[in-house]
Structure 1
């Protein structure tokens, strides 16, 4: 990531913030964060600035096209050329399959699918301007989930959105290959975020994993950073499953 600039959606906490920290450790020049929670955004910016990063933040509703594009363009205006976009924003409400309301479906789709789509379009429109640059043009990494490939009756709407993002990733990868924009996704199994600990499914996941434990967030961030960096020169349209042997796809 040396000398590169990355925008992380959902970067104020969780895996997004962990990824941002790792990018700074790997010498990323500048980091932009997009999130709806302005208080957490400000705190995340302070954390990254203390690590030596130049940071810009933007608050916006990514489910709305105009808001999503405005947030990205705001960061590009302050940070300059954006080399990488990471889409880590998502909502994870567990709900039994026959209890999901239309409103819950709509919200899940709005954030996890439509929001990801809006941010990808905004990034591609920006990255295409640098197609003739001598260095890497652009990298996009979407955070999906092993739930895209595994039955999940306790969270079917979430699983469905992550399967949709896998498909979106492949479509964007094919469309953007001519511009040397590489688009991939990383599909984690559950890992030890505060939210996962709160929901209480990590012990069950650990028992079902070949490695016998849940991952730490930084173990997922390693894969995201690699796919978002100039080290990735050939992979596009790929969905990399990182599950510790929980699932084999």
Structure 2
């Protein structure tokens, strides 16, 4: 499918972009004209992903939880392209029960899902001020809205929704918008085994969602592209739920 050029001349950084939603988000932003930095920890996987995307796309391998690596990455981005758009997509999940998760496990989830996105936003904002355009999009989850266990992950994503609102208030005077996209059940590579082995999940979604199915990763990417573009210029501090009607369907 051919998209417009809403993001022509813009530069984006997408974390966790080697596969799944992150890859589809990077591809959609590139399709709309942006230069996209694909981030992840596996340099070779990033190169393979970038080869599948048409456009002026670059790879930048670093661990978002490594502060020194983040400092070096943003210095390089600043000196080469600048930055207009940050998509905090990378995240971690631990599906074990509450009784099985230790303090260190909780701390790790918070580091990946909350502390790192906060830090990346902090480093991105000065670059956006320099270019007079700024869009920060955090990928959260409908786990913030529903209670199905998974307490550590839910806490980290709910906290990121809170950070989204707070940063929107703080960065608004600079013309930088900060929003979140909260996906529902998305058929990524990580979820395909779940989809294929557990028919009850698909049956549950058929009953529980208004659209009766899983989301495809590109359907999340479209929401991100909207918020990253001029079309979303008056939307800030908002969490856009993209869940096929899961949260509201009774």
TM-score, normalisation: structure 2: 0.90
**In 2: Cα distance, 1:65 partner to 1:173 partner:** 23
SS of alignment partner, residue 215 of structure 1: coil
Contact 1:7 1:33 in 2 (8 A): yes
Task: Determine whether 1:121 maps to 2:117.
Answer: no
CA distances 1:191-218 after superposition (whole Å, capped 9, x unpaired): 1101112234641334321211011111
More displaced stretch, 35-44 vs 184-193: 35-44
Partner of 1:42: 47
Which position in structure 2 is the counterpart of 1:112? 113
Q: Distance in 1 between matches of 2:9 and 2:231?
A: 13
Tell me, which stretches of 5 or more residues in structure 1 are unaligned? 132-136
Q: Alpha carbons of 1:68 and 1:207: their partners in 2 closer, same or farther (altered >3 Å)?
A: farther
CA distance in 2, matches of 1:199, 1:156: 20
In the alignment, which residue of structure 1 is the partner of 2:175? 180
Confirm or deny: 8 A CA contact 1:68 1:115 kept in the other structure.
Answer: no
Find 1:167's aligned residue among 151, 156, 162: 162
Contact 1:18 1:218 in 2 (8 A): yes
Q: 1:6 aligns with which of 12, 18, 23?
A: 12
Number of positions where the alignment pairs a residue of Structure 1 with one of Structure 2: 238
Q: Secondary structure at the match of 2:9?
A: coil
Alpha carbons 2:84, 2:127 under 8 Å: kept: no
- Secondary structure of the corresponding residue to residue 231 of structure 2: coil
Tell me the CA shift for residue 231 of structure 1. Answer: 1.7
What pairs up with 1:1-249 in 2 under 5 angstroms? 1-28=7-34, 30-48=35-53, 51=54, 53-78=55-80, 80-131=81-132, 137-153=133-149, 155-200=150-195, 202-203=201-202, 204-248=204-248
Structure 2 distance, partners of 1:165, 1:184, is 10
Q: Tell me the distance in 2 between the aligned counterparts of 1:91 and 1:199.
A: 17
Q: Which runs of 5+ in 2 are unaligned?
A: 1-6
| Residues 84 and 131 in structure 2, CA contact (< 8 A), matched pair in contact too | no
RMSD (Å), alpha carbons:
1.6
